[in-house]
């Protein structure tokens, strides 16, 4: 089998791939320390972007728009993974604690009080956001 590179063993190639997988799939900066991040483009250089003509890296599933994906992702980024399950009030408090912008807080205020949400998808459905079409 031709691997295309003979600098590393297959095990080392897999380890290196696992190291950068998060950066490649996240579409955003994943480093914890700012000093370890690459510098932005200079004044006389074009901005580097994964999708220069759009705002989204990757495809958009059927039944959703780019704006749906961006807003759902933004809301989820301020809620984290540790708050589930919880009600609308707890979600609003968590987002405020994480310094969420007003547009996120306003969307969370639209949730019905007293309803327990198991995950972000239930929250997004309750906010009447676009939902991915099922593939068969």
Query: Taking the model in full, what pTM does it have?
Result: 0.54
Contact by Cβ (8 Å): 79, 46: no
pLDDT value of residue 52: 60
Contact by Cβ (8 Å): 120, 129: no
Token pair belonging to 31:
């480093």
Query: Which residues are within 8 A (CB) of 60 and not within 5 positions of it... i.e. 6 or more apart?
Result: 66, 69
Among residues 127, 77, 128, 86, the alpha carbon closest in space to that of 107 is found at 127
Q: Where are the domains of the chain?
A: 66-126
* Spatial distance between the Cα atoms of 49 and 22, rounded to a whole number of angstroms: 17
pLDDT in tens, the chain (136 residues): 555 556 778 888 888 888 878 777 776 667 677 677 777 777 787 766 655 666 555 567 777 777 888 888 899 999 888 888 889 999 999 999 989 899 999 999 999 888 999 988 899 888 887 777 666 5
* Spatial distance between the Cα atoms of 134 and 136, rounded to a whole number of angstroms: 7
């Amino acid at each position: 089998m031709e691997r295309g590179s003979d600098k590393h063993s297959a095990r080392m190639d897999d380890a290196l791939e696992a190291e950068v997988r998060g950066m490649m799939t996240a579409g955003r900066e994943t480093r914890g320390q700012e000093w370890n991040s690459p510098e932005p483009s200079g004044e006389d250089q074009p901005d580097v972007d994964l999708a220069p003509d759009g705002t989204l890296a990757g495809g958009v599933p059927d039944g959703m728009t780019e704006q749906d994906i961006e807003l759902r992702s933004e809301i989820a980024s301020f809620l984290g993974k540790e708050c589930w399950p919880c009600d609308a009030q707890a979600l609003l408090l968590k987002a405020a604690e994480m310094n969420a912008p007003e547009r996120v807080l306003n969307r969370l205020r639209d949730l019905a009080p007293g309803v327990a949400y198991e995950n972000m998808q239930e929250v997004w459905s309750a906010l009447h956001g676009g939902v991915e079409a099922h593939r068969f």
